[in-house]
A and B are shown apart, each in its own frame.
Chain A
C-alpha cells in the first residue's frame, strides 16, 4: 500500500523522536520537521529557505561549527555526537546533540541533520565540569599546602641543624623509639644514618639507662607531660658524650598520650665547662676560708706575743716569745707568697723563674736551718752526698721555696716522732733532692691528683697545714726547671718526694 506507506513515512519524519533537518552544503535550511520546530519554537516558514543552521548557533557555536564540525563533515561525510547549543525562538540556548550526514539528494549534495535534546546530558556535563573544577581547586590548595609544608620542613631542618638538635619520637602505641638520622652523629658515626632503638640504648652508659626509662615513664603521666634527662652516651668512636634529652607528651582529651617527641642535644662541652666552673667556685670559696683561718692563727700568735713583750719578761722567756713570733710571721709570709704564686700560675703566665748556676748544697743548708727553727721540737736532718761545690742551673729562691713546701708537708703529714730527712745525691743524669718522712703513707687514690691545687692530706687540723697549694707550686717550679718529681709512699719505706734536676749548663 504505497499511499499508506508514504503516510507512515511522512508521519515518522514529521513527528520523529528527534529533530530532523535537511540543509544545503552551505547550511541553508531546506526542510525541517515538526519535532524540531516544537523544540525550538520556530515556525517552519521562519526556517525553511530563510535561515542557515549557523544562524541558530551561539557565536561560540558558530566558531565551533566552522573549525570542527564543518571540516569533519567535508572530510568524513558525517559527524556524530556533536554537542551544540541552539538558540530557540525566544533567544534561549537549548543544548542539543547532533548527528549529520552528507548525501546527494536529487543530484545535489545536501546535509541531513538529526538533533536530540541534551538538557540532562548538559546538566550532567555541567556537574561533571564543576566537580572537576572543584577537584582541581582542592588539588591546587592541597599542592600549595604541601609545598608550604615542604618549605616549613626545610626551615625546621636547617634550624635544627644550626642548633645541633636531633629529633626523636616515641610511638606511644608500641613504645618504639625512632630517631632522625643525624642522631647517628651523637653516637660517634661520621655521617647521618639510621639509628635503631636498640643501638641507641646500647650506647647509653649503663648507669644512666634506668634514669632514661624512668623519666620517660614519668613524662607519660598526664599530670606531667615533660621529659628531661641528661645521660652519657658511649660513641662508636670511643668518645663519651653528655646528652640532654628534652621532650613533651601531648595527651588526647581523655588523657591518653598521643604524641611523645623531643630533641637530643650534645651538652658535653657545656657539661665540662659547668663542672670546671663549679670546681673553681668551690675552690675559691674553700681557699678564702682556709686562708682566713690560717692567717688568723699566726697573727693571733704574734698579737699574743706582743702582749707578753709589753709586760717586761725574763731574757729566756723573751727569746722563746721572739722565736714564736718569727715562726708565726714566717708561716704567714709563706702562705701569702704561696697564694701569690698560685694566682700567677693559675692565670696562665706561669711562675717567674730566673735560672743561673747555683750551689744546691748551700741553698739547702740555709733552708734546713730556717725550717728547723720553724718547727721547734721536731727533728730535721740534712745529708749531702755530693761535692759542696757542685753547681746546678736553677733559681735559688725557687729551690728554697720548693724544698720549704716539701719539708713543711713532711712535718705536717709525717710521723711526729721520726725525723724528716733532706738529702742531696748524684743521679744518673743530674742531682737528686729528696725529702723523706716516716708515718702513714699517702692513700693510693690521692696519688694521681696529688699535685692538683687543693688536694689535701687527711689530717687537716694540724696548725702547720697548708692551703693545699704547696705541691701545686712544687709541680710548677719543677716544670719551670725541666726537672722531674717522683713520689714513693709505702708503710715500710715511708714517704719520699724526689726532685731530679737535669745536668744542664744553659
Chain B
C-alpha cells in the first residue's frame, strides 16, 4: 500500500523548505484549512491524516501498531522519507502529534529541522508536582464518554438512526464527517493519547522547537508549556491569547504569526531562546 494512500498525503505550495502538518486527536488535516494557506506561499506544505482518522486507509489500522504513539511515529518517518527525501522538515504537530514528532525525531533526528508544537502536552495526567491538567479518574471518564457516546462518534450510525440522512440547510460539506471516526479506533487513539507519558523523551530532542501555548486551554494548561520549555534542549515558548485547544482555528493570526517568526529566525540563522 502506498504511503500517500495510507496517510491521505496532500502536498501544496512551493519553496526550498518543507513544512509538514500533523493534526491532533479528534479531527483530520482539515484542521489546517485556515492556517496552511499562509505557509503554502513560501514553503512546500505536506498535509496528511493519521491512520484511523479522516481520509486515511482504515484497512491499514492495526490495533497492535497503533496501541502506542510509536506506531504513528513510524508512519510520520515514512511520510517524510517518501515526500521529503534528504531534506529535513519543519514539523508542525498539534496536540498529540507534537509528541509523535518528538518520538520520530529521537529515532531519526536527521529528518527534522525544527518542531512547531501547537498546544502540546507530554503527559495529561497530574503526577506529583507535575500538572498535566487531569486526574486519572478524569481520563477514565473520558474513555467512558467514548463508550457511552459511541453513536455520536460513529461515522455512519448517527444519520441512519436519527432518520435524517441529509440536512439541506447545512449543505453537503457540513456533515461533521471530518471529526468522525470509527468508535473503536477513536477509543484506542484516546487511550494511546491520554494515557501516554512522554516526559522523559523531551530532553532527547536536539532540534529547535517552538511551543505555542494557549493562555486558557483545558487540555494543555499553561504549566505544561512552561514545563516543556524548561526540560527541552532548545525550545522557545510562545503563549498566545486563546480559549481552547485549537489556536490554529480560533486564534489563527496569533498562532501563525508566532510560527512564522520562529521559522524566520531559523532561516536567518538566529534562534531566540525562550
Query: Which A residues are closer than 8 A to B by beta carbons?
Result: 25-27, 54, 58-64, 66-72, 74-85, 122, 125-126, 128-129
Q: List 25 A-B contacts (CB under 8 A).
A: A59-B134, A60-B144, A61-B145, A62-B218, A63-B194, A64-B145, A66-B217, A67-B27, A67-B219, A68-B179, A70-B244, A70-B245, A71-B27, A71-B31, A72-B178, A75-B30, A77-B174, A78-B174, A80-B170, A80-B174, A80-B176, A81-B162, A84-B149, A122-B148, A125-B149
Say which one of B76-84, B150-158, B203-211 lies at the interface with A. B150-158
> Which secondary structure dominates where chain A touches chain B?
helix
Could you say which of A54, A62, A67, A69 contacts B25, with CB atoms under 8 Å apart?
A67
Is the pair B218, A75 in contact by a Cβ cutoff of 8 Å? no
Residues of A within 8 A of B244 (CB): 26, 66, 70
Residues of B within 8 A of A25 (CB): 250
Is the pair B141, A60 in contact by a Cβ cutoff of 8 Å? yes
Closest to B180 in A: A68
Tell me if B261 is interfacial: C-beta within 8 Å of chain A. Answer: no
Is the pair A68, B27 in contact by a Cβ cutoff of 8 Å? yes
Closest to A67 in B: B26
Is the pair A128, B218 in contact by a Cβ cutoff of 8 Å? no
Whole-angstrom distance between the alpha carbons of A125 and B150 in the complex?
A: 8
Is the pair B30, A83 in contact by a Cβ cutoff of 8 Å? no
Total interface residues on B, CB under 8 Å, equals 46
Is the pair A59, B179 in contact by a Cβ cutoff of 8 Å? no
Is the pair A82, B219 in contact by a Cβ cutoff of 8 Å? no
Tell me if B11 is interfacial: C-beta within 8 Å of chain A. Answer: no
Is the pair B164, A66 in contact by a Cβ cutoff of 8 Å? no
With known contacts A60-B142, A67-B27, A70-B244, A126–B249 Cβ distance under 8 A: no
Residues of B within 8 A of A27 (CB): 243
Residues of A within 8 A of B174 (CB): 76-78, 80
Is the pair B164, A81 in contact by a Cβ cutoff of 8 Å? yes
Residues of A within 8 A of B150 (CB): 125, 129
Closest to B142 in A: A60
Is the pair A71, B151 in contact by a Cβ cutoff of 8 Å? no
A206 to chain B, nearest CB (A): 61
Residues of A within 8 A of B164 (CB): 81
Is the pair A66, B179 in contact by a Cβ cutoff of 8 Å? no
Is the pair B176, A81 in contact by a Cβ cutoff of 8 Å? yes
Residues of B within 8 A of A61 (CB): 145
Closest to B158 in A: A81
A90 to chain B, nearest CB (A): 18
Cβ < 8 Å to A, chain B residues 19-45: 24-27, 30-31, 33-34
With known contacts A59-B142, A71-B179, A81-B176, A129–B170 Cβ distance under 8 A: no
A411 to chain B, nearest CB (A): 95
